[in-house]
């Protein structure tokens, strides 16, 4: 499993599409076993969800994200957690402990429900 986190430095970015890059954490047996940082190629509509999907992310964590990006992740069956702040490692650890809380039901918007279980 892989978790993608929008990042600015070592903090969860509050702007998914305008962050400096993404940390891709590889998870095995409930633990972080690897990390790869990628630089954001810039904000092009639809490109960033495709990029993280290509990296193998099944979960994405960010502070904020537009509804179109959420739709694109949901269409790829990728869970989205928004309203997250603090260190990127802390956010991933909270997810692994089952303690990461999304700032809202991000998969239910504009009449669309992705049927994710968060």
Question: Does some domain include residue 111?
Answer: no
In a domain, 117, yes or no: no
Residue recorded with tokens 């991000």: 106
**Looking at the domain assignment, is residue 36 inside a domain?**
yes
Would you state the torsion angle of the CA atoms of residues 80, 82, 87, 91, taken in this order, to the nearest 10 degrees?
-50
Domain that holds residue 93: 2-105
Digit-by-digit pLDDT tens for the chain (118 residues) are 999 999 999 999 999 989 999 999 999 999 999 999 999 988 887 899 999 999 999 999 999 998 899 999 999 999 999 999 999 999 999 999 999 988 753 444 344 445 444 4
Q: How many domains does the chain have?
A: 1
Tell me, yes or no, whether 42 lies in a domain.
yes
Report d(CA 73, CA 9) in Å as an integer.
Answer: 23
Q: Of 98, 97, 78, whose CA–CA distance to 16 is shortest?
A: 78
Backbone angles phi, psi at 115, to 5 degrees: 60, 30
Indicate which CATH number applies to the domain containing 53.
Answer: 3.30.420.130
- In-domain check, residue 110: no
**74 with 48: CB under 8 angstroms?**
no
Residue 21 lies in a domain: yes
């Amino acid at each position: 499993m892989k978790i993608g986190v929008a990042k600015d430095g070592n903090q969860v970015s509050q702007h998914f599409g305008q962050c400096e890059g993404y940390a891709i954490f590889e998870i095995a047996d409930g633990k972080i076993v690897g990390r790869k940082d990628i630089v954001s190629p810039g904000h092009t509509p639809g490109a960033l969800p495709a990029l993280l999907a290509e990296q193998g992310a099944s979960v994405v964590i960010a502070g904020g994200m537009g509804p179109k990006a959420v739709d694109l992740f949901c269409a790829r069956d990728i869970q989205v957690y928004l309203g997250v702040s603090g260190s990127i490692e802390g956010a991933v650890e909270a997810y692994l402990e089952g303690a990461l809380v999304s700032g809202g039901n991000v998969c239910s918007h504009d009449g669309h429900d992705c049927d994710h279980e968060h």
